């Protein structure tokens, strides 16, 4: 492929999305606040350690953007949200548990394999890649959980966030905000 053609593909000729209304933004804020707050409360109800807020994994912040900010997009749907996190977490933990290689290689394998597996299972959820990565780069408390990491914090946190998304996104009459668009 000629360099000129390759560079031409990067010009991005399309238009960026329009800004949502202030009401849309406020409902996104309410959903994200409630979802993350309730997940954070799980630390008090189901503590792992006094120092590690294990239920607050970084991938949940990205999931909040999708399920509360853009609940109509395919990657935000429940199948993708739940399945993407679970598939990815399983892969991340499996690599840490059964592949004793340098962490950098584990990290690359966890994320790339998680993406491949999410494609195979039709559960592509971009924050899932972070759940796989966190299983590799997480603290000793995360590593000590082993496959329990998949259930706690991943499944527990995802189910709380899903419940909040179902409630908050369906309180308004705005059809585009109604959630989910599909389950399977």
Summarised one tens digit per residue, pLDDT across range 132-170 is 999 999 989 899 999 999 998 999 999 999 999 999 999
Summarised one tens digit per residue, pLDDT across range 7-37 is 878 888 788 888 989 999 999 999 999 999 9
Determine contact, residues 83/125, Cβ cutoff 8 Å. Answer: yes
Determine contact, residues 118/128, Cβ cutoff 8 Å. Answer: yes
pTM of the predicted structure, to 2 decimals: 0.90
């Amino acid at each position: 492929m000629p360099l000129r053609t390759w560079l031409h593909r990067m010009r991005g000729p399309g238009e960026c999305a329009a800004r949502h209304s202030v009401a849309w933004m406020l409902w996104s804020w309410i959903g994200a606040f409630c979802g993350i707050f309730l997940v954070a409360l799980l630390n008090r109800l189901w503590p792992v350690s006094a120092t590690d807020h294990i239920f607050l994994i970084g991938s949940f912040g990205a999931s909040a953007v999708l399920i509360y900010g853009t609940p109509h997009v395919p990657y935000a749907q429940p199948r993708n949200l739940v399945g993407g996190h679970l598939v990815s977490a399983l892969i991340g933990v499996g690599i840490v548990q059964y592949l004793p290689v340098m962490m950098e290689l584990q990290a690359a394998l966890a994320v790339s394999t998680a993406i491949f597996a999410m494609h195979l299972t039709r559960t592509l959820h971009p924050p899932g890649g972070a759940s796989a990565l966190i299983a590799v780069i997480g603290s000793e408390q995360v590593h000590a959980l082993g496959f329990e990491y998949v259930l706690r914090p991943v499944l527990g946190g995802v189910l709380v966030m899903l419940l909040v998304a179902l409630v908050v996104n369906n309180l308004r009459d705005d059809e585009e905000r109604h959630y989910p668009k599909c389950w399977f």
